[in-house]
Amino acid sequence: MSHIENIIIDEKDYKILLELLKSKTGLNFHYYRRNFIEKRIKSRMIRVNCWTSKDYYNYLTVNDNEIKNFLEGFTINYTFFFRDYDVFETFQEMFLDGLNVRKGEIQSHIRPSSQKIAKFRSKRHYARNQMKLNEVSSKPDMSYIDIFIFLDRLSFYQKLKKPRNERNTIKIWSCPCATGEEPYSIAMILNNLEQQIPNFPPYKIVASDIAAEAIEKAKMGIYSDESMKEISDYFEWKYFTKKKVQFGYYNTIKDAIKNKVEFIQEDVTKGHAKSNEKYDIIFCRYLFIYFNRENRHQFLKIIDRHLAENGLLILGKTETLFDSFGTLKQIDSRNHIYIKTHSKLF
């Protein structure tokens, strides 16, 4: 018996295991989809030759190392700089449009070179991705046009039209931020624009995650080469210092970017530390996949509370609320971008 399908964990044992994992890690695994967690438990059970959940419970109780092994390779904190970089390109284009700056007038630097992508990805994956990119650039993309119809009403657009002062600071929340690569990518984009565009608006980036260790790592700002696999050479050169180590480099983010992000450790289904803050843009990518239905709803209520009217929710490539959810209406079906509005879109 060596297959995952042969291992059965009943409801009661599953709960008991989750309680034990919670007491050892501080993480509440009840929040996540059962399929996802169960798969991880079962694959560890096979690795350590435990064939019943009781065996694995006992094994976990006496082997301190097993918790580390359980969490390792559990892709929950997995992230990297400029993950799905075309989402960031769309984000940048919206800013440029609001500032009345044409794309060709600035050096973007978001897109990594094809050599860099090829270095980290298998040939097949790379070819598939190139095909997708070609498709995107050769076809007229309706979803893309949609965004531009709605731009004028966005809360951050309205701020761009007003005097550049504290009151009109554009507020961005990266939730969840894991080890910080996403909010730092946003900070690099805005810093790069700020240096090329006169009278750039003031902005503020808040980033939060439930995992204390991830937040600590984010605050330290030191990354392995794996995190750098889709960052452009220019941004890598401009915003990092590198130190050679045995297996590659330590890449340390420079203070100019580090100081732009405020990190908070919190469970976002319970609320947000900045209880009165309203954000113009919320990035929320690769979180729903882990949540069960109840937590998803709980979390969406919190998003609703903290997103300004006509603010944007960016879910990214893999997650969706379909055409709409409550006050959130989709305006880009490629990057799953939603606008919060109480009024009709048309």
Ligand X SMILES: C[S@@+](CC[C@H](N)C(=O)[O-])C[C@H]1O[C@@H](n2cnc3c(N)ncnc32)[C@H](O)[C@@H]1O
By CB under 6 A, is residue 281 in contact with ligand X? no
Stretch that binds ligand X, among 7-15, 121-129, 131-139, 206-214 (CB under 6 A): 206-214
Please identify, among the stretches 70-78, 91-99, 142-150, 241-249, the one whose residues bind ligand X according to the rule CB under 6 A.
70-78
What proportions of the chain, in percent to the nearest 5, are helix, strand and coil?
Answer: 50, 15, 35
Which of 60, 94, 170, 287 binds ligand X (CB under 6 A)? It is 287
97 binds ligand X (CB under 6 A): no
Rounded to a whole number of angstroms, the minimum distance from the CB of residue 224 to ligand X is 15
Task: CB nearer to ligand X: give 80 or 240.
Answer: 80
Residue 176 touching ligand X (CB under 6 A): yes
Q: Please state, in angstroms and rounded to a whole number, the distance separating the CA atoms of residues 278 and 272.
A: 11
315 contributes a contact to ligand X by CB under 6 A: no
Question: At its nearest, how many Å lie between ligand X and the CB of residue 80?
Answer: 7
Stretch that binds ligand X, among 103-111, 131-139, 237-245, 281-289 (CB under 6 A): 281-289
Question: Which listed range, 66-74, 144-152, 274-282, 283-291, lies at the site for ligand X (CB under 6 A)?
Answer: 283-291
Is 91 an interacting residue with respect to ligand X (CB under 6 A)?
A: no
Enter the tokens of residue 107: 């050096």
DSSP state of 338: E
Helix ranges (H only) for the chain are 11-25, 34-47, 53-62, 64-71, 85-98, 114-120, 123-138, 142-150, 155-161, 181-194, 212-220, 233-239, 255-258, 293-306
C-beta of residue 172 within 8 angstroms of C-beta of residue 280: yes
Beta bridge pairs of residue 174: 207, 283
Binding ligand X (rule: CB under 6 A), the pick from 66, 97, 182, 332 is 182
In the complex, the smallest distance separating the C-beta of residue 218 from ligand X, rounded to whole angstroms, is: 10
Strands 337-340, 261-265: pairing is unpaired
In this chain, which of 92, 191, 251, 269 binds ligand X, going by CB under 6 A?
269
Q: Kind of pairing, strands 324-325 and 261-265? A: unpaired
DSSP 27: -
Closer Cβ to ligand X, 7 or 37, answer by number? 37
**Residue carrying structure tokens 């918790």:** 67
Q: Does 78 bind ligand X (CB under 6 A)?
A: yes
Please report whether residue 193 would count as binding ligand X according to CB under 6 A: no
Which helix (H) or strand (E) covers residue 49, if one does? Answer: none
Q: Which residues bind ligand X (CB under 6 A)?
A: 31, 76-79, 83, 176, 178, 182, 209-211, 214, 267-269, 285-287, 290
